[in-house]
Structure 1
Amino acid sequence: MTARVRARVDRWFARTPAIALAVLLPVGAVTPLFPVELGVAVFALATLAVGMAHGAVDHLVPLRAAGVSARRSFAAVGGVYAVLGGAVVVGFALAPAVAFVGFVALTWVHWGQGDVAALAIAGVDHLPTTAERGLAAVVRGGLPMAVPLLAHPGEYRLVAEWTVGLFLPDAATSAAVDPLFALAVRVAVAGIMVGATLASVGAGYLRVRGGASRRGWLRDAGEVTVLWAWFLLAAPVVAIGVYFALWHSLRHVGRLVLLDPAAERAIEIGNLRGALARFARDAAPLTLGGFLVVAAVGLAVPRGPAAGGVIAAGDALAVSLVAVAALTLPHVAVVAWLDRRQGVWRSGAFG
């Protein structure tokens, strides 16, 4: 991978979307004034446009990153998805409130994982140790998952009740989610996020004082500031839907483009459209498979759309979240393997 290719991937898939999210801050600020159904529509469009596709090339990751045969790559990833994805669905059926918290925690880890990998592609040098990268991941992953709980607990609770309510009666649903929204929980989460942010930004500044690039640190601090503002201002479902497509998914797509030699050559000559066309071709079959998983969950859950009656926006969102949870755990496993393969978490300067 040449420096030019890496710089273009960083610009097209990370920096430009970050600027776009900053531009959207005034729009995000007014979204709490609108019904939550707007957020559901935004989340659905985000999932259709990019979100589902960003993990739909996982079956090619071992093939391209380690040179294993296509048969072994497909079989290994397929087995991981079947076992771990099935375990998530069973977890929701047995203990839906616990599974919901687990999904939030898993997404926290994964979105932090994705941003640290993006910083590695950018070549920042103010996060030289595994501990500093881990702290950055806590901040980056926690912003989408934790800040909406602090700023908009009502809508956050509504989504939790919709999701848990697919498996429990209404009265039991309310009791099951009550502990998640206790004041003590929110205070603890606020303390973790504020403390981790200050520690991460402060540690980076000390590295700059010691000779690390100020530009990389300013970029890191600037992105964290944009994310804090976005998730404080925007309604949670809108905020996460836009972030999922515009931020997390695009950064991962950029990372996967670098694994495809033909797409990398397209990036080398400035052919973004050609690189994206190759990715879309590779992702198309399992993107469709992902939507089939959503449909299967909708048919399987005891109180979902298949239970009869009009399909409400809350039902649709809740079913989508359970399906996304089932796809996220195996996706995290594949990405963790890729992180290890690429040395994302090893101490030393990114490069």
Structure 2
Amino acid sequence: MTALVRGGVQPAAAATPPALQTWVSDRILAPVTTLLLVVATLSAAVHLAGAEIPMPVQLVPFAVSILVFGLPHGALDHLVPARLRPGTSTARSVLVVITLYLVVGTATAALWTATPVLGFTAFIVITWFHWGQGDLFIDRILDDGTTGRGGAALTVAVRGALPMLVPFIAQPAAATAVVTGTVTDFGADHDAVASVSLPLRIAVGVLVGALILLHLTAVRRNGTPLWRQASEDIVLVVFFAIVPPVLAVGLYFTLWHSVRHILRLELTDSGSAEQLHRGQLLAPFLQFMRQAWPITAIAVGMLVALALTLHRADLGTYLALIAALTTPHAVVVTWMDHIQHTWHCNQTTDTGPA
């Protein structure tokens, strides 16, 4: 068992304090889950009224995510090795991560340029894994959910599948339109994206349902409370089945995934972690934003450059940039999982000062 302290990780026999678990659950997770349920209810009402949510409204979460939560949530990757690996200098940390982004990000962009459909497919698979990682870490600091490596893999599989697969099951035309609109920006033929047939939708639906049942069964066997896991699974299924995919993914990316990862990063900073342990949420977030703005500004500049190159400034352009950044970011988070033993036990204890 370990606990993060300034400058590295040292042995300690302490888990995440119950107070922090309560604050995270009640003041971060529950409000977002409730908001998603409210949006799903409103979307259902709009649909029953025979109307549609205007696309400019659907794009608002993605627009906000450029500067708040979304794009900034990976802007401190260059500091992660220095924070989690004792003896790693900031200079070396920055050099390693920048090299990683240049190599892996460039390879991702090359794949999109050569075969846009394959590039988008890889993006879905990587995001499936990465978004599942985010929920797994939250389970660990709350000391609930599944246990062991097998349970971790199940959590990652089901929680990543809900945002990535449910829209294609429940709203295939709208979900496929997002893929088609994006890959055509990179030269793919409009007909290159196959429609999602009913038999395939049924098969994928059965897979998702089986994953959820296995996930909840594993949680129950672990003896931890089932309420949060079951309610989040149900809300996510309803949310992605009802809310238009662009709005749904934008809200999830911004308020669910990014907020959870920002919390994870705040816990790697001893000062912010101490504030979080006292229930202070605003001060650590403002500290994070101050640290994240330079890299966020660079990412925004890359977005502008990509838009000028493609002569387009739309959702597809933004998704292409996110894809190029997500691949190296997922590598960094996977390394964090390794250092923090996220997959090996039920409780991740590298969360704050000893």
Q: TM-score range by the shorter chain?
A: 0.7 to 0.9
1:336 aligned to which of 329, 334, 337: 334
| Offset of residue 347 of structure 1 | 4.1
| Offset of residue 264 of structure 1 | 1.3
Structure 1 residue 173 and structure 2 residue 181: aligned? Answer: no
Instruction: Please name the residue that 1:73 is paired with.
Output: 93
Instruction: Please name the residue that 1:83 is paired with.
Output: 103
Is the CA contact (8 Å cut-off) linking 1:28 and 1:239 kept in structure 2?
no
> CA 1:349/1:254 → structure 2, altered by over 3 Å: closer, same or farther?
closer
1:104 aligned to which of 124, 127, 134: 124
Instruction: Please name the residue that 1:191 is paired with.
Output: 206
Deviations 1:96-130 (A, max 9, x none): 01111111111111111110111111111x51121
Is the CA contact (8 Å cut-off) linking 2:61 and 2:247 kept in structure 1?
yes
| Distance in 1 between residues matched to 2:63 and 2:45, nearest whole Å | 20
Deviations 1:168-224 (A, max 9, x none): 26xx221x101x6244432332222111111111232233xxxx12x2x22111111
Deviations 1:3-39 (A, max 9, x none): 0344434443323322332333312334662233332
Instruction: Please name the residue that 1:137 is paired with.
Output: 156
| Distance in 1 between residues matched to 2:334 and 2:100, nearest whole Å | 13
Structure 1 residue 161 and structure 2 residue 180: aligned? Answer: yes
| Offset of residue 132 of structure 1 | 1.5
| Distance in 1 between residues matched to 2:221 and 2:294, nearest whole Å | 47
Unaligned runs of 5+ in 1: 306-314
Instruction: Please name the residue that 2:6 is paired with.
Output: none
> Normalising by the residue count of structure 2, what TM-score does the alignment of the two structures yield?
0.87
Moved more, 273-282 or 35-44: 35-44
Is the CA contact (8 Å cut-off) linking 1:10 and 1:118 kept in structure 2?
no
Moved more, 39-48 or 151-160: 39-48
Give the letter for the 2:39 counterpart.
L
Structure 1 residue 118 and structure 2 residue 129: aligned? Answer: no
> CA 1:184/1:82 → structure 2, altered by over 3 Å: closer, same or farther?
farther
1:236 aligned to which of 238, 245, 266: 245
Is the CA contact (8 Å cut-off) linking 1:100 and 1:164 kept in structure 2?
yes
Structure 1 residue 286 and structure 2 residue 295: aligned? Answer: yes
| Distance in 2 between residues matched to 1:50 and 1:188, nearest whole Å | 34
| Distance in 2 between residues matched to 1:185 and 1:285, nearest whole Å | 44
Give the letter for the 2:193 counterpart.
V
Is the CA contact (8 Å cut-off) linking 2:216 and 2:230 kept in structure 1?
yes
Structure 1 residue 24 and structure 2 residue 39: aligned? Answer: yes
Instruction: Please name the residue that 2:281 is paired with.
Output: 272
Deviations 1:207-253 (A, max 9, x none): 3xxxx12x2x2211111111111111100000011111111111111
Is the CA contact (8 Å cut-off) linking 1:147 and 1:232 kept in structure 2?
yes
Moved more, 197-206 or 16-25: 16-25
| Distance in 2 between residues matched to 1:129 and 1:97, nearest whole Å | 35
Is the CA contact (8 Å cut-off) linking 2:340 and 2:348 kept in structure 1?
no
> CA 1:188/1:296 → structure 2, altered by over 3 Å: closer, same or farther?
farther
| DSSP-derived class of the 2:101 partner | helix
| 1:227-266 equivalent positions in 2, closer than 5 A | 227-266=236-275
| Distance in 1 between residues matched to 2:295 and 2:165, nearest whole Å | 30
Number of aligned positions between the proteins: 329
Q: Which has the higher helix share?
A: 1
| DSSP-derived class of the 2:190 partner | helix
Structure 1 residue 93 and structure 2 residue 91: aligned? Answer: no
Instruction: Please name the residue that 1:312 is paired with.
Output: none
Give the letter for the 1:321 counterpart.
L
Unaligned runs of 5+ in 2: 4-15, 350-354
| Offset of residue 275 of structure 1 | 0.9
| DSSP-derived class of the 2:69 partner | helix
Percentage identity across aligned positions? Answer: 33
| DSSP-derived class of the 2:185 partner | coil
Is the CA contact (8 Å cut-off) linking 1:13 and 1:253 kept in structure 2?
no
Is the CA contact (8 Å cut-off) linking 1:39 and 1:238 kept in structure 2?
yes
Deviations 1:287-332 (A, max 9, x none): 111111212222334xx42xxxxxxxxx510000000000000100
Instruction: Please name the residue that 2:7 is paired with.
Output: none
| Distance in 2 between residues matched to 1:63 and 1:296, nearest whole Å | 30
Is the CA contact (8 Å cut-off) linking 2:143 and 2:346 kept in structure 1?
no
| DSSP-derived class of the 1:263 partner | helix
